[in-house]
Structure 1
Amino acid sequence: MAKLKPRNFAVIGLGTFGTTVAEELARFGNYVVGIDRDEKAVNRLADTLSQAVIADGKDEDALKELGIGDFDVVIIAMGQDLEGSIVSAITVKMTGVKEVWAKAVSKMHHRILSKIGVDRVIHPEKEMGQHIAQMLHNPLVRDYVSLGNGFHVVNIVVPERLAGKSLDQLDLHAKFELRCVGVMKGSEYKGSDYASCDLEEGDRLLILGERSNLRRFTDSI
């Protein structure tokens, strides 16, 4: 697999969310600039990021001086400051940044950010809450990934009652309109050629489908 080419990111707002995003992007080997008015927040990341700058994310001149228009992606992470977030998004878009992501804290905030051209609006607390609730609702669901348009890939632990059955016997497509994209046995991945082999308790099924069909399947086991 080809290695991903490092990209240039600017994160405006270094609270908990912005700091986490910036640190993870840097850990992946990207060039990351963190921007915040709080000197303590900036100093905390001075040795972690490519560059940490004390600046106002709403100040067009300051952002232009940082060359904000040359970044691949700008993430606006100051969700609690609604006015600051909106003004910053407008300012960043005006500099010609190709891709802008922004954190929102309400439906109205989301709507405004979308209207001014933000490419992706994030609700981290809401999205994480939904993620955790799904896993709490059914302990067999270890994790899941949303693919958009209502489709998800869910990581489901094989319970005792399914041990000894094969994927063919589960008949996921006919009964639930689902597709198993693989099975994890410990750290080993088994592809579609594993369909006729017996499952063991503790194996993990990677199942693709729409939310309602996935819920029908998980409720049935």
Structure 2
Amino acid sequence: MKVKKSGKQFAVIGLGRFGSSMAVSLYKMGYDVLAIDNDLKKVQDFSNDFTHVVQANSTDENALRELGILNFDVVIVAIGEDIESNIMTTLQLKEIGVKYIVAMARTPLQMKVLEKIGADRVVAPEHDMAQRVAYNLVSTNVMDYIELSDEFSIAETTLPKAFIGKTLIEANLRAKYNINVVAIKRGRHLIVSPMPSEKFHENDVIVVVGDNNGINGLESLE
């Protein structure tokens, strides 16, 4: 058992690819992580990787209470293949009063069900990754793309030649494309929340957030 670290406490239920990656990332960032799985072999495989790793049936309310699940700030339900267990675990967590529940969905229907039963946030990692890869394949300029909603996204894209030498205010991206530049990557230097007077350089990479149509319009520029 490892020594508890500082900050928020997270519980991750399900040690498949998504769950284990999430737990590892949180633990490396310095957070206290309880990892739970019904598969003893997975529990043994990860026994030295997190603060606590336990075998438990997450659909059992008593088992969850005995683990002190209510003490955790965020509980992530990362059960992938067993959709019934995923939904039942989320429902149990909601009913016993867990503060914040993040649930993983594999299908649009599962996502709707999880939202209906009270998950605070539903993520669909396979869908999101497929969408990002597809967008990158059809785009020559966009380096990364994350859809935030049906209307808004965040994208990392090479600077269109039309804006080289212009300041942020001269480019007027907010008015023309309904997008905001949140960062400029210039070689190894990252300019976060650039000033309106910041001038774009050749080979700049910009990180923008805003309207999907605007991002598509920006991407079509030479």
TM-score range, shorter chain: 0.7 to 0.9
Quote the offset at 1:134 in angstroms. Answer: 1.6
Quote the offset at 1:160 in angstroms. Answer: 5.8
In the TM superposition, what are the counterparts of 1:125-140 in structure 2 within 5 Å? 125-140=126-141
Aligned to 1:110: 111
Change (3 A) 1:87 1:208: closer
- 1:32 paired to 2:46: no
Quote the offset at 1:36 in angstroms. Answer: 0.8
- 1:192 paired to 2:192: no
SS in 1 for 2:44: helix
- TM-score where L is the length of structure 2: 0.86
Quote the offset at 1:193 in angstroms. Answer: 5.0
> Could you tell me how far apart the structure 2 residues matched to 1:198 and 1:68 are?
49
In the TM superposition, what are the counterparts of 1:1-221 in structure 2 within 5 Å? 6-148=7-149, 150-158=151-159, 163-164=164-165, 166-167=167-168, 170-190=171-191, 191-192=194-195, 194-195=197-198, 197=199, 199-200=201-202, 202-221=203-222
Structural RMSD (CA): 2.2
Aligned length: 215
Gaps of 5+ in 1: none
Identity %: 34
Q: Is the 8 A contact 1:176 1:217 kept in 2?
A: yes
Change (3 A) 1:177 1:10: closer
Provide Cα deviations, 1:177-219, integer angstroms capped at 9, x if missing partner: 3333342211223422553x3521x211222320101101101
Quote the offset at 1:137 in angstroms. Answer: 1.8
Change (3 A) 1:182 1:121: closer
Quote the offset at 1:153 in angstroms. Answer: 3.1
Q: Is the 8 A contact 1:178 1:213 kept in 2?
A: yes
Quote the offset at 1:159 in angstroms. Answer: 5.5
Gaps of 5+ in 2: 1-5
Quote the offset at 1:122 in angstroms. Answer: 1.2
Q: Is the 8 A contact 2:36 2:53 kept in 1?
A: yes
> Could you tell me how far apart the structure 1 residues matched to 2:10 and 2:42 are?
18
Change (3 A) 1:18 1:198: closer
> Could you tell me how far apart the structure 2 residues matched to 1:198 and 1:121 are?
37
Q: Is the 8 A contact 1:68 1:95 kept in 2?
A: no
> Could you tell me how far apart the structure 2 residues matched to 1:112 and 1:182 are?
36
Q: Is the 8 A contact 2:165 2:201 kept in 1?
A: yes
Change (3 A) 1:182 1:64: closer
Provide Cα deviations, 1:95-141, integer angstroms capped at 9, x if missing partner: 21100111112222122211111111111100111112122221321
> Could you tell me how far apart the structure 1 residues matched to 2:89 and 2:200 are?
55
Provide Cα deviations, 1:60-83, integer angstroms capped at 9, x if missing partner: 111111011111111111132111
> Could you tell me how far apart the structure 1 residues matched to 2:89 and 2:180 are?
43
Aligned to 2:3: none
> Could you tell me how far apart the structure 1 residues matched to 2:113 and 2:180 are?
38
